[in-house]
Chain A
Amino acid sequence: MTPGDGRTGSAVGRPLRRIDARGKVTGETLFADDLSLPGMLHLKLVRASLPHARILGVETAAARGMEGVRAILTGADFLVPFGILPVSQDEHALCVGKVRFVGDPVAAVVADDELSAEEAAALVEVRYEPLATIASPEEALSTPEPRIHDYGDGGNVHKAVALDFGDVPAALAGADRVFEDLFFYQGNTHLAMEQHATLAYVDPDGLLTIASSTQTPHYLHRAAARVLGLPPARIRVLAPPQGGGFGGKTDPFNHEIVAARAALLTGRPVKIALTREEVFLCHRGRHPVLMRMRTGIDRSGRILGHSVETLLDGGAYGSYGVASTFYTGALETVTYRMDRYRFRGCRTFTNKPPCGPKRGHGTPQPRFGLEVQIDKICEQIGRDPAEWRIENATQPDTLTANWLEIRTTGLVRCLEAVVAASGWRERRGKLGRGRGLGIASSAYMCGAGLPIYFNDMPHSGVQLLLDRGGGVTAFCGSTEVGQGSDNVLALLVAEVLGLLPSDVKVVTGDTSLAPVDLGSYSSRVTLMMGNAAVDAASRARERLAAAAATRLEIPAERVGFGGGKLFDVSDPSRSIVFAQAVQLAEAAGGTVGTTGSYRPPTPKARFKGGGVGPSPAYSYSAAVVEVAVDEATGVVRVVKVWIAHDIGRALNPVAVRGQVEGSVYMGLGEVLMEEQAFCRLPPRLSSALVHRGPSMLDYKSPTSLDMPAVETILVENPEPNGPFGAKEVGQGPLLPIPPAVANAVHDAVGVRVDESPVTPEKVLAALRDPSRRFGPTTFPEVPWPEPVRVAPPWEGKP
């Protein structure tokens, strides 16, 4: 399918109401916790109160004796481990042998109501033998024993990777100037408004059903089958619409599996609804990353060699960590030309809630470093940072140093758009004391080139059912997390068939009723599900066109689709209505059902570690941010944001704008105030290591009054690999915001805060420090493995 092919103009590009909007504004949309069944029991987890300890015993008798208690489970009920990645099957639904962070679930109580379950859970006594607490990557490196896990790359290193694309040390030695900087990007969490909830039950047909707030029902399906020892065909996973995900619901979670087992055990529906604090403990959010970047440029400012070292605080479990580690290096090359590239990444285990993928998965951290470093370089060499970016932007149809294939790129146009809209050239440097402008750009993937577990099957499948009444139903395992994927599915089918999106019914987030879609992660859904949908719809279109052609007595190529009709393109007055076309097709060839599927192209990167980064397409963004900095207090106020995003093609401009502005919002939260921060008491007093403020009051998500004006510009440049040219928008636009803010602060008051969040404390400290900088000053020794050496495309074959 090439763009333009099969367009009817009925849906693509129109600012139509989302198909799921009505249910959301009436309150009828049922989220996981809105589901309830007769006889439903309630589940509460007993969570570890120590950060690292051996479990000596779990005393449940007192809890068992409580009124209303129906069942109690412990680690003994869940001996099979699971985890999202095949290489890190390191979680147990309830801890077996030891606990690894405060909040690790140890036991579970099932009772008639939630309050009784909670009261009984408080009576479960766990006896522990404490182990040394490992609080930071530095501690993890210097404390190989006790090991948090008995796998990984030695000691408490989970994963260490090294990739060389050409001889970077030689490039730096030959460079005109070399810049070295250290950056730190703080961890933060998704904070989706909906707290995770799961309802598990055995349906009347004996099928174990798990309805859960999950972005990845397919992976939950696999994990549940594995842990519960059931054939996958005996399990059905439902993913109702979610109240936001942002990556926080992409792992299979222990509470989901415990609820399932509890339902099997009691024969009753079992519900668990996590508290906000528990959601903070599930986490899987942004890794805190310490970075060292070295960049050598020639006289013209061109990057001859770029080196990135990252040290990730992974928390207590693997999660997506191996992928996250690679992601802190993978997309470094996609925005600006660089001749050679060197990457070192190390993820450590620590006794904290596990980190994982959050909007931008692993890439906002090095993006922050790269974009701030470029700002510094431009300052040093006297170049305008916008001009430098425009001049050095990667070009379409090229390969990067690490063999990523850039097809379309709207980066230059994004940069030019925000430069023009913000008045960058006229206003920069003339805003007066305490005011400044900063710029940054970025790129993101439209879906990972490879699935999470190795297989040759499609990444997304869509089935279409056309009924005699003219109804169209699209079935896809994709999950609506708020981003609008249900609408994209309906919209694309509608576009091909000449209908309105609201004419198409969707059945999604159901592993029994719909073909597999891998899930709502890595910005893959619009492109991958979208291509599958267009594929399925095109096949249906062929059948309908053939049937209509017979009736209208014209060749099938002359059949047009639009306005709910099929017509003769050379005489549109000759037409039949859509339902009639379906009936004719059904009469001619039987029930009208089609399938479509999508598998991304084989990546060009053919080396160990090359599986992370390739994508069918990359989206690009650029932002200019204006700030006002109070020099007496260091308080930063964002005045306005101009952002341009290379969307390929906007399938629905209102929805796209929402994704862009939502990303800007989240990026501002990350760079100004959000922190998944921990509190360690003096070790002589307590071994505790706890989340500093696991609440929506202490975790600072910007309020309506903290949100600045945003001007959103879409750059449309259709991408051959995207459905009708569309690229992703859910994650990319977050990326330029944090560095643009840091750069704007520098423009305003001349200080560098090389670490997120850019808080008043740090700005003031930088203002008072002779170095005019706040940020990390050391990078520990890391035992890097022998690098995988791959010549960049222009230096040889991979």
Chain B
Amino acid sequence: MSPAGPVPEHGPRARSRISLIVNTQPRELLVDPWKTLLELLREDLGLTGTKHGCELGECGACAVLLDGDLALSCLVPAVECDGRHVTTVEGLRDGPELHPLQAAFADHGATQCGYCTPGMLVAARWVLDRNPSATREEIAEALSGQLCRCTGYLQIYEAVESAARVLRGEPPSPPRLPAADRSVPDDAR
């Protein structure tokens, strides 16, 4: 059962045509083989929701779901995405409503600068897809390739846990407030 014809070849001069499904939309485009999925998404498809912080696989900002698996788009050649499914942050919601993870991130302070957020969100989606009742430890492990310099991660965990509740049909948890010491009488209050 040997396939016919010469070995499929792309580049260096001729671009190759690939078709893939991005956020459930079929897309067909011409790409240079040295283009990464990150560049394809941001530059060819205008999907700038996916970020980049290193382009070397070290930070997680560029994470997307590739055939349902968490992957770093900065290390995936676009030519290898032919026929595959890609989900980016833009694909998390369908319509105006936020995905429960997005709503929870917004409500629990899990997004500060928001730069790690797209990668965090798809990573969170990936872990909850596989395990809707993931424990705090499992969530921390699943997010361990996603650096965040702003939050210290704890509010992110709380957001993922709250979203998991919603996805399981339970009510969301309210954002956790810091303990407040208001021991001094304050007439302005």
- Cβ distance A525 to chain B, nearest Cβ, rounded Å: 14
Please tell me if the beta carbons of B115 and A654 are within 8 angstroms of each other in the complex: no
- Cβ distance A280 to chain B, nearest Cβ, rounded Å: 11
Q: Is B111 an interface residue (CB 8 A)?
A: yes
Q: CA of A550 to CA of B71 in the docked complex: distance in angstroms? A: 63
Please tell me if the beta carbons of A657 and B54 are within 8 angstroms of each other in the complex: no
Contact of B113 among A194, A701, A711 (CB under 8 A): A194
Please tell me if the beta carbons of A658 and B147 are within 8 angstroms of each other in the complex: no
Please tell me if the beta carbons of B144 and A703 are within 8 angstroms of each other in the complex: yes
Most buried by A among B89, B103, B114, B180: B114
Q: CA of A275 to CA of B187 in the docked complex: distance in angstroms? A: 52
Known: A30-B48, A481-B113, A704-B140. A193 touches B187 (CB 8 A): no
Please tell me if the beta carbons of A193 and B148 are within 8 angstroms of each other in the complex: yes
Interface 1/0s, chain A 710-742, versus B by CB < 8 A?
111111111000001100000000000000000
Q: Is A237 an interface residue (CB 8 A)?
A: no
Please tell me if the beta carbons of A25 and B153 are within 8 angstroms of each other in the complex: no
Interface 1/0s, chain B 71-95, versus A by CB < 8 A?
0000000000000000011101100
- Point out the residues of chain A lying under 8 angstroms from B69, CB to CB: none
Q: Is A653 an interface residue (CB 8 A)?
A: yes
Contact of A482 among B53, B54, B112, B184 (CB under 8 A): B112
> Which residues of A (5-40) have their CB < 8 Å from a CB of B?
7, 15, 17-18, 20-31, 33-34, 36
Q: Is B132 an interface residue (CB 8 A)?
A: no
- Point out the residues of chain A lying under 8 angstroms from B145, CB to CB: 703
> Which residues of B (127-172) have their CB < 8 Å from a CB of A?
140-141, 143-156
Q: Is B186 an interface residue (CB 8 A)?
A: yes
Q: Is B58 an interface residue (CB 8 A)?
A: yes
- Point out the residues of chain B lying under 8 angstroms from A654, CB to CB: 107-109, 155, 175, 177
- Cβ distance A671 to chain B, nearest Cβ, rounded Å: 14
Residue in A closest to B187 when the chains form the complex, CB atoms: A4
Known: A244-B149, A704-B144, A718-B188. A31 touches B56 (CB 8 A): no
Please tell me if the beta carbons of B149 and A246 are within 8 angstroms of each other in the complex: yes
Q: CA of A715 to CA of B182 in the docked complex: distance in angstroms? A: 6
> A290-298, A493-501, A612-620, A662-670: which lies at the B interface?
A662-670
- Point out the residues of chain A lying under 8 angstroms from B49, CB to CB: 26-28
Residue in B closest to A420 when the chains form the complex, CB atoms: B181
- Cβ distance B184 to chain A, nearest Cβ, rounded Å: 5
Q: Is A195 an interface residue (CB 8 A)?
A: yes
- Point out the residues of chain A lying under 8 angstroms from B155, CB to CB: 654, 657-658, 661
Please tell me if the beta carbons of B107 and A17 are within 8 angstroms of each other in the complex: yes
Known: A15-B175, A713-B180. A25 touches B151 (CB 8 A): no
Please tell me if the beta carbons of B151 and A658 are within 8 angstroms of each other in the complex: yes
Contact of B144 among A21, A194, A705 (CB under 8 A): A705
- Cβ distance B52 to chain A, nearest Cβ, rounded Å: 8
Interface 1/0s, chain B 40-53, versus A by CB < 8 A?
00110001111111
Most buried by A among B34, B88, B182: B182
Q: Is B3 an interface residue (CB 8 A)?
A: no
- Cβ distance A29 to chain B, nearest Cβ, rounded Å: 6
Q: CA of A417 to CA of B176 in the docked complex: distance in angstroms? A: 18
Q: CA of A20 to CA of B113 in the docked complex: distance in angstroms? A: 9
Q: CA of A27 to CA of B51 in the docked complex: distance in angstroms? A: 9
Residue in B closest to A663 when the chains form the complex, CB atoms: B152
Interface 1/0s, chain B 100-131, versus A by CB < 8 A?
01110111110111111110010000000000
Interface size class of B (residues with CB under 8 A): 35 or more
Contact of B121 among A25, A244, A659, A666 (CB under 8 A): A25
Q: Is B63 an interface residue (CB 8 A)?
A: no
Please tell me if the beta carbons of B181 and A661 are within 8 angstroms of each other in the complex: no
Q: CA of A660 to CA of B72 in the docked complex: distance in angstroms? A: 30
Q: Is B30 an interface residue (CB 8 A)?
A: no
Contact of A3 among B34, B114, B117, B188 (CB under 8 A): B188
Please tell me if the beta carbons of B51 and A718 are within 8 angstroms of each other in the complex: no
- Cβ distance A419 to chain B, nearest Cβ, rounded Å: 12
Q: CA of A707 to CA of B148 in the docked complex: distance in angstroms? A: 11
Residue in B closest to A115 when the chains form the complex, CB atoms: B34
Please tell me if the beta carbons of B181 and A716 are within 8 angstroms of each other in the complex: yes
Please tell me if the beta carbons of A195 and B151 are within 8 angstroms of each other in the complex: no
Q: Is B21 an interface residue (CB 8 A)?
A: no
Please tell me if the beta carbons of A27 and B89 are within 8 angstroms of each other in the complex: yes
Q: CA of A105 to CA of B153 in the docked complex: distance in angstroms? A: 36
Please tell me if the beta carbons of B114 and A484 are within 8 angstroms of each other in the complex: no
Contact of B188 among A7, A275, A413, A644 (CB under 8 A): A7
Q: CA of A413 to CA of B52 in the docked complex: distance in angstroms? A: 42
Q: CA of A662 to CA of B149 in the docked complex: distance in angstroms? A: 7
- Cβ distance A39 to chain B, nearest Cβ, rounded Å: 14
Q: CA of A115 to CA of B111 in the docked complex: distance in angstroms? A: 32
Q: Is B8 an interface residue (CB 8 A)?
A: no
Please tell me if the beta carbons of A665 and B151 are within 8 angstroms of each other in the complex: yes
Q: Is B24 an interface residue (CB 8 A)?
A: no
Most buried by A among B48, B92, B141: B48
Q: CA of A484 to CA of B111 in the docked complex: distance in angstroms? A: 10
Q: A24-B105, A695-B54, A717-B186 are in contact. List 5 more A-B contacts (CB 8 A).
A: A194-B115, A243-B53, A482-B115, A665-B153, A701-B147
12 A-B pairs, CB-CB below 8 angstroms?
Answer: A17-B106, A26-B92, A29-B114, A193-B147, A194-B53, A243-B51, A483-B112, A654-B108, A657-B177, A658-B155, A665-B153, A715-B181
Which residues of B line the A interface, CB within 8 A? 34, 42-43, 47-56, 58-59, 61, 88-90, 92-93, 98, 101-103, 105-109, 111-118, 121, 140-141, 143-156, 174-184, 186-188
The 5 closest A-B pairs by CB, nearest first: A27-B49, A482-B113, A243-B115, A24-B114, A4-B188
